[in-house]
Amino acid sequence: MKIIVCLKQTFDTEAKIQLTDDGKISDEGVSLIINPYDEFAVEEALKIKENMGGEVVVVSIGKERAQEAIRQALAMGADRGILITDEALEGGDEYTTATVLAKVIGNMEYDLILCGNKAIDDQSSQVAVRLAEKLGLPQINVVTKLEVSDGKVVGHREIEGGSEIIEAPLPAVVTAQKGLNEPRYPSMKGIMQARKKELKKLSLQDIGLEPSAVGASGAKVKVLEYSLPAPRKAGKIIEGEPAEAARELVRLLREEAKVI
Amino acid sequence: MARGIWVFAEQRNGELKKVVFELLSEGRKIADQLGQELWAILLGKEVKGLVEKLAPYGADKVLVADDEKLEKYSTGTYTKVISDLIREHQPFAFFLGNTAMGKDLAPRVAERVGTGLSSDCTGIELVDGNLHFVRPIYAGKAFAKTVCPEARPVMATIRPNVFPVSEPDAARQAEVVEVPVQVGMEDLKAIVKEVVKQASGRVELTEADIIVSGGRGMKGPENFKILEELADVLGAAVGASRAAVDAGWREHQYQVGQTGKTVSPSLYIACGISGAIQHLAGMSSSKVIVAINKDPEANIFKVADYGIVGDLFEIVPLLTEEFKKLLA
Ligand SMILES: Cc1cc2nc3c(=O)[nH]c(=O)nc-3n(C[C@H](O)[C@H](O)[C@H](O)COP(=O)(O)OP(=O)(O)OC[C@H]3O[C@@H](n4cnc5c(N)ncnc54)[C@H](O)[C@@H]3O)c2cc1C
C-alpha cells in the first residue's frame, strides 16, 4: 500500500489570536503543531502500513518551518516527506492549495490519500475534497473507522444523528475525524531515525506551476479583512441557596435574556 | 450573465433540514435586493411532496431531480446532477447548509464547476452587487471576510442556526421543474452500504437551539442522566467537553470545541466545565451562556452571562424542576 498523507502545520490550539498592524493574523510567539485532524490521518496511515506493508509519504504546503511538522510525522514512522514552499503561494485559497497538491501528488504512485477532515485554523474542510475531484478519485469524508483491503476501502462516516458506511474502490481520498484512532508519540528511536529520512523541498518551479496559477492571483476566494470577536464580558454570578439560585436563574433566562 | 440565487434543499428520508428554511429566508432577501429569482434545488426519491414546504419560504422555482438513484445521498451522483444544472442555468450564487452533506458536497461541486467556496459562513452582506461572507476561523477566535470576485456561482455553506426563519407565506406558489437525472456508473464509485441511525431522538448538536453540556465535573457516564433530564424538559441537545469524551463518558460526536463541534445555540448551559480555551473556542458564539461550576475561579465564569457557583449534582436537578414548572 502506497499511502500519501496531506499535512498542514497549524497554530497550537492554545494560541491566542491577534492581528498585526496591517490587519493580518499574527503568528508572533505562537507555537505550531501538526493540524490535529492530520495527526489522525498520519496515525491511520502508519497502522495500515503496519498491517499491509508499503510506504507512507507526507506531503505539506507551507513555510520553511513546516519541516518541523513533517519531521514529527517522520518520527512517528512515516517514510519520507515533501514540502512545497514558495513565496508565490501566499494569499491562496482552498482551490489553489488543491491545485498545488494535485500537481505534486498526480505524479506520484498511491493507493490511498489520507487527510484531516478540516484544518483547525481556516476551518474550511475543502482541500481534501477538491483534491479528490481534481484527481478523479472517490472520497469518504469525516471517517471514524476505516477498513482497507485489497482494492477497496470501507469507511464509517459521521452524519447528523448517526453514521454512514461507505465503500469505495482504491485509490481513494479519505478524511480523518477524531475517534478514528489515538495518534502515537514519536519514540526516541523514531526521532533519531527521522533525521536521516528524506525530506524533499520543492518550489513552484520544481513542480512546474506558474505563479499566476496559485497564491493570491490564482485564488477564487479572497480574504478582504480579518477581525476579532468582541470579548465576552463576565456576567452575573447568582448568589444564594441552591434552590433560590436555580429559581432566580430560570427567571433571568426568561425575563432578562428571553431565551426560554 | 449569471443570475439567480440557489439554495440546496437538503433532505434525508423525506425530511428537510431546518437550515434549508434559514437559507431560503436569507436567500429571499438577497434575491429581492438584486431583483433576481430564488430557486430551491431538491434531490431524492419521491420528494416532490416537499415542494409545498419550500414555496412558503420564498422559493420562486423548485428544480426537482427525483430518481431511484438519488434515494441515498452519494457524493458522485449528487455532484453530477447539481453541477450539470449549474452549467446549464449559470446561477449567480448557490448556498448550502454547513451540514455533513453540505460539507461533503459543496467543495466537490465548486471544484467541478471551477468556482470558489466560502465555508461555514455566519454572515452575508451584499456590497456593490457582490456577496461578502463572514466566516469564523480558529474556531471562532477570529473572523475572515471573504469575497469571490469573478468565478460564478458564488458558493457558500452556511452554518445552521445563524439566520432566522421568516414567517411562511402559505399563499406563495413555486413553479416546479422536473430535471432529468443522468448519472452513470462513473458517478457511483463510492457507494453507501448502510446508514446507521442513532436512536437518541434528540436534536443534533449543531442545529440545537439549547445545549446542555457536561465536563469532567460530571464524574462519570451514569451522571449524564441528570443532564439528559434537563435537556428533555428544554428540548435541548446534550454536549460534552473533551475531558468527558476522552474519559469515554460520551461519544466524540458530542464534543464541543476546537477539535469538536462549533455550536451557536441561543442558550448554552455548561455544567462542570472549566472553560479551557479549546472548549470556549467551540461555544463562545452562543447567544447566552450559563455556567454551573463549584470553583468560583473557573475560567468559564469569564465568558458566562449567568453563573452559579455550586455543586452541579445539587443545582442541575433543581433547575430541571424549575424549568418544568415554568414550561408546564
Ligand atoms: C489539541 C487539543 C484540542 C482540544 N480540543 C478540545 C475541544 O474541542 N473541546 C474541549 O472541551 N476541550 C478540548 N481540549 C481540552 C481542553 O484543553 C481541556 O482539557 C478540556 O476542555 C477540559 O475539560 P473540562 O472542562 O470538562 O475538565 P476540567 O478542566 O477538568 O474541568 C472540570 C471542571 O468541573 C468542575 N467541577 C468538578 N466537580 C464539580 C461539581 N460537583 N459541581 C460543579 N462543578 C464541578 C471543576 O471545578 C472544574 O472547573 C483540547 C486540548 C488540546 C491539547
Interface predicted TM-score (ipTM) of this complex, two decimals? 0.96
Domain A2-218 has CATH 3.40.190.10: no
| pLDDT tens digits in sequence order for chain A, 260 residues long | 999 999 999 999 999 999 999 999 999 999 999 999 999 999 999 999 999 999 999 999 999 999 999 999 999 999 999 999 999 999 999 999 999 999 999 999 999 999 999 999 999 999 999 999 999 999 999 999 999 998 999 999 999 888 999 999 999 999 999 999 999 999 999 999 999 999 999 999 999 999 999 999 999 999 999 999 998 888 999 999 999 999 999 999 999 999 99
Ligand 1 pocket list (CB less than 6 A): A 13, 36; B 215-217, 241-244, 255-260, 272-274, 276, 278-279, 282, 292-295, 298, 311-313
Which of B12, B17, B74, B75 to substitute to test the interface with A, most A CBs within 10 Å? B75
SS3 B183: coil
pLDDT at position B234? 97
Q: How far is the CA of B1 from the centre of ligand 1 (A)?
A: 52
For residue A59, what pLDDT is reported? 98
Give the pLDDT band of residue B194 (cuts 50, 70, 90): very high
Cα–Cα distance for residue pair B137/A199, rounded to 1 Å:
30
**Residue in chain A nearest B105 by alpha carbon:** A129
Q: Is the peptide bond before B180 cis (omega within 30 degrees of 0)?
A: no
State the smallest CA–CA distance between residue A40 and chain B in angstroms.
12
Give residue B231 CA to ligand 1 midpoint distance, Å. Answer: 20
Question: Ligand 1 centre from B196 Cα, in Å?
Answer: 30
The topology (CATH level 3) of B205-327 is Rossmann fold (3.40.50)
Beta strands A139-149; A172-176: pairing state: parallel
Parallel/antiparallel/unpaired status of strands A32-34 and A9-11 = antiparallel
Task: Kindly write down the DSSP assignment for every residue of chain A, as one continuous string.
Answer: -EEEEEE-EEE-TTPPP-B-TTSSBP-TT--EEE-HHHHHHHHHHHHHHHHH--EEEEEEES-TTHHHHHHHHHHHT--EEEEE--GGGTT--HHHHHHHHHHHHTTS--SEEEEES--TTT----HHHHHHHHHT--EEEEEEEEEEETTEEEEEEEETTEEEEEEEESSEEEEE-TTS--PPPPPHHHHHHHHHS-EEEE-HHHHT--GGGSHHHH-SSEEEEEE-PPPPPP-EEP-S-HHHHHHHHHHHHHHTS---
Say yes or no to pLDDT of B198 above 90. Answer: no
- Written as nine digits, the cell of A174 is 479519505
Q: What percent of chain B has pLDDT over 70?
A: 99
Q: Check CB contact of A208 with chain B, cutoff 8 Å.
A: no
Binding-site positions of B for FAD read 216, 241-242, 255-259, 272-279, 293
Residues 20-79 of A with CB under 8 A from B: 25, 36-37
Residue A214, C-alpha cell as written in the block: 496559485
Interface contact flag, A13 B142, Cβ < 8 Å: no
Contact flag B147-A162 (C-beta cutoff 8 Å)? no
Please name the residues in contact with A229: beta carbons below 8 A apart, sequence gap of 6 or more.
Answer: B140, B141, B142, B143, B284, B285
Residue B228 host element (H or E): helix B224-234
Q: Partners of B236 in the beta sheet?
A: none
Reference A163, options A151, A155, A171; nearest CA is A155
Q: In what order do the strands lie in the sheet with B123-127?
A: A222-227, B142-147, B130-137, B123-127
CB proximity under 8 Å: A 138-157 to B: 138-142, 144, 154, 156-157
Closest atom of ligand 1 to CA, residue A33: 1
From CA B237, how far away is CA B319, in angstroms rounded?
Answer: 16
Q: Record the cell numbers describing residue B199, joined without a space.
A: 436512536
Domain ranges of chain B: 5-187, 205-327
List, by residue range, all CATH 3.40.50.620 domains of chain A: 2-218
B317: preceding bond cis by omega (within 30 degrees) = no
Q: Measured between alpha carbons, how far apart are the two ends of chain A, in Å?
A: 55
Judged against a pLDDT cut of 80, whether residue B200 lies above it is answered with no
Q: What phi and psi values does residue A183 have, to the nearest 5 degrees?
A: -60, 140
B242, B255, B284, B301: which to mutate for ligand 1, most atoms within 8 A of CB? B242
Domains B5-187 and B205-327 share a fold: yes
Q: Model confidence over B26-58: pLDDT tens digits?
A: 999 999 999 999 999 999 999 999 999 999 999
Residues of A in contact with B253 (CB under 8 A): 158, 179
How many angstroms away from the CA of A1 is the closest CA of chain B?
Answer: 19
CATH number of B5-187: 3.40.50.620
Is the pLDDT reported for residue B142 higher than 70?
yes
Query: What is this structure's pTM?
Result: 0.96
B172 and B37 Cβ atoms separated by less than 8 Å: no
Q: Whose CA is nearest to atom 5 of ligand 1?
A: B259
Dihedral (CA of A57, A58, A64, A67) sign: negative
Cβ-defined contact of A138 to B189 (cutoff 8 Å): yes
Per-residue pLDDT at B199:
65
What pLDDT shows up at residue A232?
86
Task: Give the one of A16, A17, A120 whose C-beta lies nearest to B259's C-beta.
Answer: A120
User: B245 C-alpha vs ligand 1 centroid, how far in Å?
Assistant: 10
Q: Does A253 touch chain B (CB under 8 A)?
A: yes
